[in-house]
């Protein structure tokens, strides 16, 4: 497990993977809250 964490946070590829996953999770949270908020508003 130590080797996995060293590769994940110690190489550019691993850091790019971590940031990509974090960005995707952030976008999912943002879009879900945006669509839920917009679906409750009356149509104009």
pLDDT in tens, 1-44: 889 888 888 999 999 999 999 999 999 999 999 999 999 877 76
Task: Give pLDDT, residue 22.
Answer: 97
d(CA 31, CA 44): 21
The predicted model scores a pTM of: 0.75
Task: Give pLDDT, residue 43.
Answer: 74
Closest CA to 14 of 5, 22, 25, 23: 5
Task: Give pLDDT, residue 26.
Answer: 98
d(CA 4, CA 18): 13
Torsion angles phi and psi, residue 34, rounded to 5: -65, -50
In the chain, what are the domain boundaries?
A: 2-39
Q: Yes or no: say if 18 and 9 are a contact pair by the CB < 8 Å rule.
A: yes
Give the pair of three-digit tokens for residue 43.
């149509």
């Amino acid at each position: 497990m130590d080797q996995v964490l060293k590769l994940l946070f110690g190489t550019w590829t691993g850091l790019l993977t971590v940031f990509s996953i974090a960005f995707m999770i952030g976008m999912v949270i943002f879009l879900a809250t945006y669509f839920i908020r917009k679906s409750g508003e009356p149509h104009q």
